[in-house]
Structure 1
Amino acid sequence: MSPVVVIAVISSLIVFLLAAGTPFKPAKFVGQLCMKVLIGALFLFFLNAFGSQFGVHVPINLVTSSISGILGIPGVVGLAIIQMYIIV
């Protein structure tokens, strides 16, 4: 499947959901969870950008993004501590 078709389908789905709303609670929950994972990835990006001066690098993947997105700043700090002291 070409990337143009994938982007068109996703864009049309977003426009449809914005126009019609999401009547399903599970869809709303999944959307909020995806948003938290994206915010967690953003937290980790900033940690890696600023932590590179101190030798801190936490890989950005689904597990670490989920942890930092759901737990917030304490999750990011916990991942950084785990990376610095446990995984050497």
Structure 2
Amino acid sequence: MKLSRIAIATATAGAPAESDRAYSGSSWGLYSFLMTNLMNGLDQINGGADRHPTEKFGGVMLSALPLAILLFPLQMIAEAEVRLLDRLGV
């Protein structure tokens, strides 16, 4: 339990104090940034604009799976951060 509190405190240390959401500089912002750019990059690698999204969906999802699994702990920290901020009323 102590480790998770330290992880949340470390991940949220970059968030501005006046921010009302857990986004910029926080673990949720980092997770969102990484996953969005990962999916966009894989979309371009798997055909870009030349192929219809339904044709490349499987390739993009299968390519992203290993990295999404590696980012799972960051997602859990981000979810805990958002729940904590909601509970604190921030």
* TM-score (ref. length: structure 1): 0.30
- Report which of the two structures shows the higher radius of gyration computed on alpha carbons: 1
Per residue, is there more helix in 1 or in 2?
1
* TM-score (ref. length: structure 2): 0.30
